[in-house]
Structure 1
Amino acid sequence: MPAVLSDVECHRRLMAAADDLFNRAGTTTVELEDVALRAGVPAGRAASVVVSKDALVEAVLRQQHDRWTGNLLRAVDPIDDPRDALIGIFTFLEGWFAEDDFAGCVFINAYGELGRTNPRVLAMVRDHTRVFTGIVDDLVTSAGLPAMLTASIVLLAEGAQVAAATMGTVAPAREARTSAAMLIGLYGPQ
């Protein structure tokens, strides 16, 4: 007789499977049954553990937000000069774009699939962008740069994510890094 999985273990497996499937195929084409099958969890049990596909999508987005933000902060926090840390954002993005499973930003993808019809997903996408903007703004302020550079650097990073996903190359991170460096040099303290 196989061991009975705890709710915690079922949830962990379902989250890992959903994260992978949503990243590869998007959220709209993946059903809860697909996630359960990938996770090795009976469909009925999956439905009782995660309640609904919408709840699972939201849980995966929360997990992705925490993971991505944590990875970004671990990449830029050790950099002493905030101007270099701003450039480090694009080095972080380049490394992410080079990963075998990179399929674009899960938040940009979720907005494209669900953001106009699902207010909770839209709120999560906007919150993720606000948090990222706050990180950039803190670095811009610490560097003594004009506040207007926050929006420019955020747009370079967001655009690089879309371009890297659609072009299948890390080049947009490099190009955005060069543009950010030029802006920092232009507006930075002389």
Structure 2
Amino acid sequence: MPTTSRNRTQQVEQIREHVLGTADRLYYHRGIHAVGMDVLRDESGVSLRRLYQLFPSKETLVEAVLHRRRQIWNTWVDDAVAAGGGTPRGQLLAIYDMLARWSTEDGFRGCIFVNAFSELGGTTPHIAALVRDQKVQFQQRLAGIVAATGAPAALADQLAVLAEGAQTTAAITGTDSPVHHARTAATTLIDTALGPDPVGPAVRHFAPAGPRVARRRLEEGGASA
């Protein structure tokens, strides 16, 4: 590829990522319906003409934001699991420690996928399907860890429900208490399925990076899909 064409492509990708980051922030903090393309233009400094060249419709933009968030979420979960040590029990509980850390960040409003579903799930089937797919993917991630313990497969479903409910309740109450309660409940479920931890109460392994770091890593090209 000629240098000029390569530079132009890189510039377009930089603008696209800037728009996605701005839209992500606005949608998360203000809501999707509250943010029109004119607001995005003003906040991003990108003209409406260029915005529509990059994203032909608002639905296309919302979809791209959610795909970007899924990459961030996957990276974040991977970091938490890695911080949980070499045992499936520790890895599962580390996910709740990660959620507790996230819920204390400024501007926490819960899960953007749940928020998007509440706004668009009834009118935009494609977005609803994307949200469902993300939730299934998270449950399957838990199922893979649970399978390594030999516990019943239903444990993954139970842990996923606890994690999802904790995020929403923490956002509504404005505290991280729901996540800590969810972790306690998760410990009880795991102990019931596997027996008490032979080495004593699980040590909390906080994820080394919150969503801000994960988003920055994605922007630098380091996040996995």
What is the TM-score of this pair, normalised by structure 1? Answer: 0.94
Alignment partners' CA distance in 1, 2:144 and 2:36: 40
Letter in 1 for 2:82: D
Match of 2:222 in 1: none
Q: How does 1:37-56 map to 2 (within 5 A)?
A: 37-56=42-61
Letter in 2 for 1:32: M
Letter in 1 for 2:178: P
Q: How does 1:138-153 map to 2 (within 5 A)?
A: 138-153=144-159
Residues 37 and 43, structure 1, Cα contact 8 Å, conserved in 2: no
> SS of 2:43's equivalent?
helix
Deviations along 1:60-103, one digit per CA (max 9) or x if unpaired, are: 00000110111111111342100111111100100111111211
Gaps of 5+ in 1: none
Q: Does 1:26 align with 2:21?
A: no
Alignment partners' CA distance in 1, 2:132 and 2:19: 25
Q: Does 1:91 align with 2:120?
A: no
Match of 1:72 in 2: 77
Residues 16 and 39, structure 1, Cα contact 8 Å, conserved in 2: no
Alignment partners' CA distance in 1, 2:137 and 2:95: 14
1:189, distance to aligned residue in structure 2 (A): 4.6
1:112, distance to aligned residue in structure 2 (A): 0.3
Q: Does 1:61 align with 2:66?
A: yes
Alignment partners' CA distance in 2, 1:166 and 1:63: 24
Q: How does 1:119-138 map to 2 (within 5 A)?
A: 119-138=125-144
Letter in 1 for 2:188: M
- Which of 156, 164, 174 is the equivalent residue of 2:170? 164
Letter in 2 for 1:60: V
Q: Aligned pairs, how many?
A: 187
Gaps of 5+ in 2: 1-7, 197-225
Residues 82 and 139, structure 1, Cα contact 8 Å, conserved in 2: yes
Alignment partners' CA distance in 2, 1:7 and 1:44: 13
> SS of 2:35's equivalent?
coil
Match of 1:17 in 2: 22
Alignment partners' CA distance in 2, 1:162 and 1:97: 10
Residues 32 and 52, structure 1, Cα contact 8 Å, conserved in 2: no
Letter in 1 for 2:43: R
Alpha-carbon RMSD: 1.5
Match of 1:7 in 2: 12
1:155, distance to aligned residue in structure 2 (A): 0.5
